[in-house]
A = this chain, B = another copy of it.
Amino acid sequence: MTQPGRFFEDFTVGQMIRHGTPRTVTTGDQALYLALYGSRFALQSSDLFAHAIGYPRAPLDDLLVFNVVFGKTVPDISLNAVANLGYAGARFLRAVFPGDTITAESEVIGLKETTSGQTGIVYVRSTGFNQDGETVLEFIRWVMVKKHDEASPAPEPVVPELPPEVTPDQLGRAVLPLYLHGWEGSLSGSRRRWQHYEVAERIDHVDGVTVEEAEHMMATRLYQNPARVHFNQHAESQGRFGRRIVYGGHVISLARAISFNGLANAFHISAINAGRHVAPLFAGGTVYAWSKVVDSAELTSRADIGALRLVTTATVDRPCDDFPGRDSDEFDEGVILELDYWVLLPR
């Protein structure tokens, strides 16, 4: 009667799941997003700036759209997840504006029972649409989901080939042609454009932001993400950490907002190659971030913009002036997020 969420046995490869609660996103959502993260990227902040560079108005923050689409998938995909294992191949394909309505669906593209026999890994490709049925975002994620009955037989294992990265030829589709003369560095906060960044460059974003329980819960609810571990202290006090866990998308949005300091002209996230939540974040922690430019690419038939591939590392209670990271798979103390993604900048 109530929604127990799907268990591992409830998924089959090829299954299409249409997610509930379509969502009209508004300037109200954008104001809340601002209050939660303090983002200062000019395009999303100002209709006037947007108009000057060729947009009809300010689009919504990319990660607001990502988190809304992600939230829609939770009741159907990950309500009984033991762990979010990763995501890959996320592509932002169309700008979303206030007034647009977002719907989402997911296709099950892989299933593999784990050796314990108690859980299995579910791979899905999730897609967000606008009111015209146009794809605004797609991404692959895989989660470890409980079996309802451990005795139920294992399905034929299907492990999809995961794209190691979104290639540059796939980038930039969500960006309208820019009128570059309208891009004023004094307004965007920086005169550094795409060509001014160098591969291997490292940027400490300096600022640290402490997270409160009220903030991450308001954010997660704004995304209509009902995953229980974020909201229920009464239950979590008996859980593994004794505390509510901050939703991973909140960490990503924090890191992105912090990254403005050093990447002010990186106006758009075009793709996420991979994301890894190295450790959980709890309220009271202070998040810092730094980024490394790992690649730089021209875009096919776009003379106005270029792409930088970044790896942004976020930490808790640890400044990033010495660029903490990892030694192969051993992460430095304090690292909570490693995000590999493409951003676009004007040329």
Closest CB of chain B to A23's CB: distance in Å? 5
Closest Cβ of chain B to A65, distance in Å, is 14
Q: Check B35–A262 contact: CB distance below 8 A.
A: no
Best-surrounded residue of A29, A188, A190 (most CB of chain B within 10 A): A29
> Does A47 sit within 8 A of B, measured CB to CB?
yes
- A40 on the interface (CB 8 Å rule)? yes
Instruction: Report chain B residues within 8 Å CB of A37.
Output: 221
Chain B residues closer than 8 Å to A213, beta-carbon distance: 210, 212, 214
Asked whether A210 and B187 contact (CB < 8 A) given A101-B46, A203-B2, the answer is: no
Contacts of A210 in B (CB 8 A): 213, 217, 231-234, 244
Specify the chain B residue showing the minimal Cβ separation from A25.
B31
Question: Which residue of chain B is the closest to A318 with respect to CB atoms?
Answer: B234
Contact indicator A218/B262 (Cβ below 8 Å): no
Q: Give the contacting residue for A42; candidates B21, B187, B201, B215; CB below 8 A.
A: B21
Given A210-B244, A317-B234, the answer on whether A222 and B261 have CB atoms closer than 8 Å is: no
Question: CA of A207 to CA of B17 in the docked complex: distance in angstroms?
Answer: 23
Which residue of B31, B205, B215 is within 8 Å of A26 (Cβ)?
A: B31
CB contacts (< 8 Å) of A46 on chain B: these are 21-24, 101
A235 CB–B CB distance under 8 Å: yes
Q: Mark A28-39, 1 if CB is under 8 A from B, else 0.
A: 111110111111
Q: Give the distance in Å from the alpha carbon of A103 to the alpha carbon of B52 in the complex.
A: 14
Question: A308: shortest Cβ distance to chain B, in Å?
Answer: 13
Q: Which of B40, B101, B103 is close to A224, meaning CB atoms less than 8 Å apart?
A: B40
Q: 8 Å CB contacts to B: which residues of A189-234? A: 189-190, 192, 201, 203-210, 212-215, 217-222, 224-226, 228, 231-234
Is A301 positioned at the interface, with any CB of B under 8 Å from its CB?
A: no
A18-B187, A218-B215 are contacts. A204–B2 as well, Cβ < 8 Å? yes
Number of chain A residues whose Cβ lies closer than 8 Å to a Cβ of chain B: 80
Do A24 and B48 touch (CB < 8 A)? Answer: yes
Q: A39 to chain B: closest CB distance in Å?
A: 8
Cβ-defined contact, B261 with A2, below 8 A: yes
Q: How far is the CA of A19 from the CA of B99 in the complex (A)?
A: 29
* A27 close to B (CB within 8 Å): yes
Of chain B, the residue at the smallest CB distance from A75 is B189
Check: A49 CB closer than 8 A to any chain B CB.
yes
Residues of chain B lying within 8 A (CB to CB) of residue A317: 234
Question: Is A20 in contact with B42, judged by CB distance below 8 angstroms?
Answer: yes
- Report A272-304 CB contacts with B as 1/0, cut-off 8 Å: 000000000000111000000000000000000
Inter-chain contacts of A286 with B (CB < 8 A): 232-235
Complex interface: chain B residues within 8 A of A187 (CB): 18, 20-22, 103
Q: How far is the CB of A255 from chain B (nearest CB, A)?
A: 14
Chain B min CB distance to A230 (Å): 10
Cβ–Cβ < 8 Å partners of A90 in chain B? none
Contacts beyond the supplied A210-B233, A212-B212: 7 A-B pairs with Cβ under 8 Å = A3-B264, A24-B46, A32-B35, A38-B221, A213-B214, A234-B285, A235-B319
Q: Considering the complex of A and B, which 7 residue pairs feature the smallest CB-CB distances, nearest first?
A: A28-B31, A38-B221, A234-B286, A20-B189, A22-B46, A214-B214, A28-B28
